[in-house]
Amino acid sequence: MRALTIDAHGGTEQVRFREDLAEPALPGPGEVRLRMRAVALNRLDLWTVGGLPGVTITPPWVLGADGVGTIDEIEGEGHGLAVGDRVVINPGISCRRCEWCLKGEHSLCVRFGLLGEHHPGSFAESVVLPVSNVLKVDERVPDDIAAAFTLATLTAWRMCVTRAQVQAGEDVLIWGIGGGVAQAALRICKQRGARVWVTSSDPAKLEQAAAMGADVCLNHASEDVGRVVRERTQKRGVDVVIESVGEKTWNASLQALTRGGRLVTCGGTSGPTLQMDVRRLFWYQWSLMGSTMGNDAEFAAVTAELNAGRLWPTVDAVYPLAEGRAAFERMARGEQFGKLVLRVNDG
């Protein structure tokens, strides 16, 4: 089968299109095999190419987490799915047996792993995965939108809805609005009636974010975001900060956060190690929260939004799977606004 793979870690030059990969084995009990139609890149895929501590790949390793496909084999019954159904993938694979899975908190699973990182990925003609990791897509949702939707929206949903519980009328600061999670967070927070502050180093991306409904657009290359937020809120600050940058933005995030404010992070793209003064944490009574992917209930909630025509992602560009490396290069250069989609099969 055709697939986008790596044999070794390195830069985007490692990304290689192949046509000679073996099809994955037919599904076992509780599994489903998909004929992929379209898939989409996430920052995670770029990290996988570069190599992640503690994660070993077996070459040729199939990349990719997100995607939409058609069921061509299914094992078991009672799941409400059938051969021929078009479904989206939840790329978070959990054991379904541990304490956290049994509590319904699948992204806290002790054996939690991601498609494309810990399990062979979605950038292939055929993918086998647990039946609990797919949900049906309404026929009105185009393949490109469905492919680009889940990882970013599920991550942002857990951050904004479950963890920070963003309320109408609150101020929310979101870093790096060129990214998929940030854009999904913007849509979710606007839907909930919040006032949203966004940042980017690119004036064109800020203009696009304003067109998407961002209330305040700040250029983090030329403006001191923490100070500007304090000035423009009469020293009050914002109620919620949505973080994924880590080292470079942490101090500004805390400077921007109001008394009793909530900060949620899902990443540390600029570096993992943070410093803070614990006196500020207890005095201002902040809640600092981590968040990763989402559970089954959140996957169902975001897929219902997708099927209702809400929270649809912005697609930056669409490439054929064979030209997938060009999409990785575009992401590595940070040029995209929204999602990069690869078409696998239109049939």
Q: Select 95 or 332, whichever has its Cβ closest to Zn ion.
A: 95
Q: Rounded to an integer, what distance in angstroms lies between the CA atom of residue 326 and that of residue 213?
A: 30
257 beta partners: 238
Is 109 a residue that touches Zn ion (CB under 5 A)? Answer: yes
| Letter string b/e over residues 217-227, b meaning 16 or more CB atoms within 10 A of that residue's CB | bbebeeeebbe
Residue that is written with structure tokens 């101020």 in the block: 171
Specify the stretch interacting with Zn ion by CB under 5 A; choose among 100-108, 120-128, 155-163, 208-216: 100-108
DSSP three-state, residue 36: strand
Interacting residues of 299 by C-beta distance below 8 A, sequence separation 6+:
90, 135, 150, 154
Is 114 a residue that touches Zn ion (CB under 5 A)? Answer: no
Is 95 a residue that touches Zn ion (CB under 5 A)? Answer: yes
Is 150 a residue that touches Zn ion (CB under 5 A)? Answer: no
Specify the stretch interacting with Zn ion by CB under 5 A; choose among 37-45, 89-97, 148-156, 290-298: 89-97
Is 289 a residue that touches Zn ion (CB under 5 A)? Answer: no
Least distance (Å) between residue 105 CB and Zn ion: 9
Is 152 a residue that touches Zn ion (CB under 5 A)? Answer: no
Least distance (Å) between residue 108 CB and Zn ion: 8
Least distance (Å) between residue 165 CB and Zn ion: 25
Name which position in 5, 48, 90, 94 contacts Zn ion (CB under 5 A).
94
Specify the stretch interacting with Zn ion by CB under 5 A; choose among 96-104, 136-144, 237-245, 293-301: 96-104
Q: Calculate the dihedral angle through the C-alpha atoms of 157, 161, 162, 163, rounding to the nearest 10 degrees.
A: 100
Write down how long the chain is: 347
Name which position in 49, 101, 128, 160 contacts Zn ion (CB under 5 A).
101
HEC string of 234-285? Answer: CCCCEEEEEECCCCCCHHHHHHHEEEEEEEEECCCCCCCCCCCCHHHHHHHC
Is 21 a residue that touches Zn ion (CB under 5 A)? Answer: no
Number of Cα atoms under 13 Å in the Cβ half of residue 75: 12
Specify the stretch interacting with Zn ion by CB under 5 A; choose among 2-10, 107-115, 325-333, 334-342: 107-115
Is 108 a residue that touches Zn ion (CB under 5 A)? Answer: no
Specify the stretch interacting with Zn ion by CB under 5 A; choose among 60-68, 104-112, 171-179, 196-204: 104-112
Q: Select 101 or 177, whichever has its Cβ closest to Zn ion.
A: 101
Specify the stretch interacting with Zn ion by CB under 5 A; choose among 94-102, 152-160, 197-205, 322-330: 94-102
Counting residues that bind Zn ion (by CB under 5 A) gives 5
Is 134 a residue that touches Zn ion (CB under 5 A)? Answer: no
Is 293 a residue that touches Zn ion (CB under 5 A)? Answer: no
Least distance (Å) between residue 131 CB and Zn ion: 16
| Letter string b/e over residues 163-192, b meaning 16 or more CB atoms within 10 A of that residue's CB | bbebeeebbbbbbbbbbbbbbbbbbbbbeb
Taking a C-beta distance cutoff of 8 angstroms, is the pair 189, 214 a contact? Answer: no
Is 98 a residue that touches Zn ion (CB under 5 A)? Answer: yes
One character per residue 49-88, x = contact with Zn ion (rule: CB under 5 A):
----------------------------------------
Q: Rounded to an integer, what distance in angstroms lies between the CA atom of residue 245 and that of residue 77?
A: 43
Specify the stretch interacting with Zn ion by CB under 5 A; choose among 12-20, 93-101, 160-168, 311-319: 93-101
First to last CA, the chain: 15
Taking a C-beta distance cutoff of 8 angstroms, is the pair 134, 90 a contact? Answer: yes
Q: Select 70 or 292, whichever has its Cβ closest to Zn ion.
A: 292
Residue that is written with structure tokens 């790949």 in the block: 57
**Which residue ranges make up the site for Zn ion (CB under 5 A)?**
94-95, 98, 101, 109
